[in-house]
Structure 1
Amino acid sequence: MTSKIIVSQYISLDGVIQDPVGMENSGLGDWTGPFTRGPHGDRFKHAELFSVSAVLLGRTTYDGFAAVWPRVKDEEGFADRINAMPKFVASNSLSDAAWNNTTVLSGDVVAKVRALKETLDGDILIYGSAGLVHSLMPAGLIDHYNLMVYPTVLGRGTRLFPQGYSLGQLVFIDALPFNDGIVHLRYAV
């Protein structure tokens, strides 16, 4: 059975996914910070992580996550889960990944991710990782989009769907309202 790749993004109303928590020095700041997704949103993010077998990240997202998650302790088990589960980081500059249970995918990342989909038992979740997502889109390797839409317009920054990229009609799965005007949209390709 082929694994599905699920892209999970914080996204502004104008489609920006870059630097939602302000750790990338993009000048966009912590644009998700003024909002709280609430307990329903927290439960959704928990269930999303626990429904997959592995996490796939680009280098920038990996660096941010690896600096934070190993030190987090939570009663819900989210940190324990993400720290223990298999993680893959797409990078041609990283040779060794220090975060527990992480494998570096270098070289032809599209071919390596395609092989990973064929061999891994269970679905794969990508958080953020715009460059990686943009590499996998034209190869048809993305199966689902989980978009947590924040009621803010940034006016600039990296967008989920780059200019000139066409995907066609997606299949709507559901829409879930969270706190502070945040809406979670799920689509299948």
Structure 2
Amino acid sequence: MGKIVISTNISLDGVVQDPDGKEGFRQGGWFLSYGGDDLKAWGAIMFEEARNAQALLLGRRSDEWFATRWLSRTDEWANRLNSLPKYVVSSTLDKVQWGDGKVLRGDVAGEVSKLKQEVDGDIVVYASYQVGRVLMEHDLVDELRLTVFPVVLGAGERLFGETSDQRSLRLAGTQTVGEGLTYLTYERATAV
């Protein structure tokens, strides 16, 4: 059975918007500014995550964003990411932009529930926050992997939005990455 894993970079105040500064957000570019020398250690963790992933689950904009940045790369990490099957949630796309994959339409929760039955292993969600919020709302997220950057942005789109109820998580791991980043792993808590 598949495990839905949301993996993202995040500021101390929960902002995930425009980490590379190319979206025009006034607070964008925080990934490089505050990652600095720690990004080499971060890259090693992300490469290992890609090696262990069985598929990627993305929204339409994230599929497009990653396609423009990764398809032209040829290093080992890019080869791994580019070769993974992609499942893209979209009501407008006819085909996946970032390599081979399938467009998921209609009932997102239902489609992802089926996907979890079909894929054995980690199904990683990168940068697809609207999709992630739907998955959280329907209790389909099994694990969160958050790389916390040492900055408070004060504005911007955050990972979590409103939910209809509380969501209980269990801290499964912490790791210092380089000298300034923190890698947190949370699992969905099972009911007692």
State the TM-score, normalizing by the size of structure 1. Answer: 0.91
Give 1:64's aligned residue: 65
Root mean square deviation of aligned Cα:
1.6
Larger mean CA deviation between 120-129 and 173-182 belongs to 173-182
1:51 to 1:151, Cα distance in 2 relative to 1, 3 A: same
Alignment of 1:27-42 (within 5 A): 27-34=26-33, 35-36=35-36, 37-42=38-43
Structure 2 unaligned spans of 5+: none
Alignment of 1:17-96 (within 5 A): 17-34=16-33, 35-36=35-36, 37-74=38-75, 77-96=76-95
**2:159 counterpart letter in structure 1:** L
Distance of 2:12 and 2:101 partners within structure 1? 33
Distance of 2:133 and 2:67 partners within structure 1? 22
Distance of 1:133 and 1:94 partners within structure 2? 19
1:168 to 1:103, Cα distance in 2 relative to 1, 3 A: closer
1:68 to 1:157, Cα distance in 2 relative to 1, 3 A: same
- Give 1:38 deviation, angstroms: 3.9
Report which of the two has the higher share of strand. Answer: 2
**2:6 counterpart letter in structure 1:** V
Identity %: 36
Larger mean CA deviation between 155-164 and 145-154 belongs to 155-164
Distance of 1:180 and 1:114 partners within structure 2? 38
- Give 1:166 deviation, angstroms: 4.7
Structure 1 unaligned spans of 5+: none
